[in-house]
Chain A
Amino acid sequence: MKELHKGKSDSELVELSKENPDFFEELVVRYERKLFSFVRRISYFSQEDIEDIVQEAFIKVYKSLNAFDNSFEFSTWIYRITRNTTFDAIRRKHTRPQSARLEEEEILKIFRSGVDLEKEKIVADDISKIKKIIEDMPIKYKEVFILKFIEEKSYEEIMDIIKKPKGTIATLISRGRKMIAEEMAEEELKFK
């Protein structure tokens, strides 16, 4: 069966999965790692909890296969369902998703994108301050930054994932950048 999956597009696999769930396995394999990382970035859950969330998201995707519209990218659609499942889990646990577990490299990536720092050197002393700035950002800004600069999604894809108009996405990024710049000034961060 595995050989049959090779070279098949996501949309073709969606059609095949409707008849036979074995085809769905390939879609799970293609996206499990990406979605696991995505949930980790936008939430603070433990590894086990994240696996449960991703599994729940895949089951929802399977149940909704008939709702998939070919005018969307499958990856966008599956990110949207995973994002909603994550936020549902956050709400169920009555906790705030503020302290997302971003890795140092990811934090620096967001920070550099946020303040347009390409080559400037960031010293070790600054990293904890930067970490605090990014971690303190409200989730609605941080989520867009994660999708744009870490998941490397386009504006259109982000629009379809978080179900907000394109203008709102641009506004969130611009405000997020402003927020980072203000925090930088407050923390007296200067780069050469």
Chain B
Amino acid sequence: MKKDFSKGIIEKIKENKIKPTQKWKINLKNNLYWLILGTMVLLSGAFLSMVILDLTFFGPETYNFFEFREFFHILLSAAPYLWIFAFIVCVVSGILIFQRTRTGYRYNLLFIVSMILLVASFLGVSAHLSRMNERFESGLLGEGPNPAMMRLKKEGRLFMPEEGVLVGTVIQLGEKTILIKDPLQENWVVEYFEKTKIDRDVDLVVGAKVIILGKKSEGNNFSADGIKRLKRPENRRPNDERMPPPKDEMNREINSRGNVK
């Protein structure tokens, strides 16, 4: 080692007027990591709530309408891949950013993954329970038919008449039939029977968004084994006037609307 090595370094510092980087710049960098990490975890929670929103739509009772393979196929076809992908990207980014924080390297990967998933799950479930995910979905993708957004929307993904799943808005009611408009703006005549299982919270009125489980027959005709509501019912107080009518009342209401062409 050269003699006066230390002196050489000090001379270089003085000659080049090297100064320590200002503290605020260093703090800014550290805080930026935490800010990005926080954003990533928040977004993970938001995207997870979208996944929950879409997946909880198929309740276990849906299984009764399909064979296991059909049910599995529908689940795979209708899975919200965009949200799942966005969730994974945010979680992975969160992990990488956490590891870049000042002491992030001290924690093992399993701990970091568990912590991020735990917080994201808490946020996701909270957003789902508080219905923020529904507002997020309509805010992000907009309301009404939009072919460009249709695949991202639950309506678009669930629209699989050949597989036995039909989605749309009720536009007319008849005796044992309803006319619905699908997300691609085509009309479908849906026939339902005594044995058709209609969910308790289905408000079968014009304008209601429903999902029909059953079988497609010729043309745009469909026979329903089950009818579910596409969107979750609003929060209601007990004895609220908007509670769904009992089934016999509902049938009376449908009969009074007249026949479908």
Contacts and interface: CB of A to CB of B under 8 A. Distances in A.
Interface of A: 17-18, 21-22, 24-25, 28-29, 32-33, 36, 47, 51, 54-55, 58-59, 62-67, 69, 159-160, 163-168
Interface in B1-41: 1-2, 5-10, 12-14, 18-23, 26
Nearest to A37: B1
Interface residues of B, number: 24
A166 B21 contact: no
11 contacts: A25-B6, A28-B5, A47-B1, A51-B1, A54-B5, A59-B18, A64-B20, A64-B21, A66-B20, A66-B21, A164-B105
Interface of B: 1-2, 5-10, 12-14, 18-23, 26, 102, 105-109
A62 B106 contact: no
Contacts of A17: 20
A36 B22 CA distance: 28
B18 A62 contact: yes
A160 B106 CA distance: 8
Given A62-B18, A67-B26, A163-B105, A28 B10 contact: yes
Main secondary structure of the interface of B (DSSP, over half): helix
Contact of B6 (A32, A67, A163): A32
Main secondary structure of the interface of A (DSSP, over half): helix
Contacts of A59: 9, 12-13, 18
A67 B8 contact: no
Contact of B10 (A22, A163, A165): A22
Contacts of B106: 159-160, 165-166
Given A51-B1, A165-B106, A63 B18 contact: yes
Contact of A55 (B8, B20, B107, B109): B8
B107 A24 contact: no
B111 to A, nearest CB: 8
A69 B6 contact: no
Contacts of A32: 1, 5-6
Contacts of A51: 1-2, 5
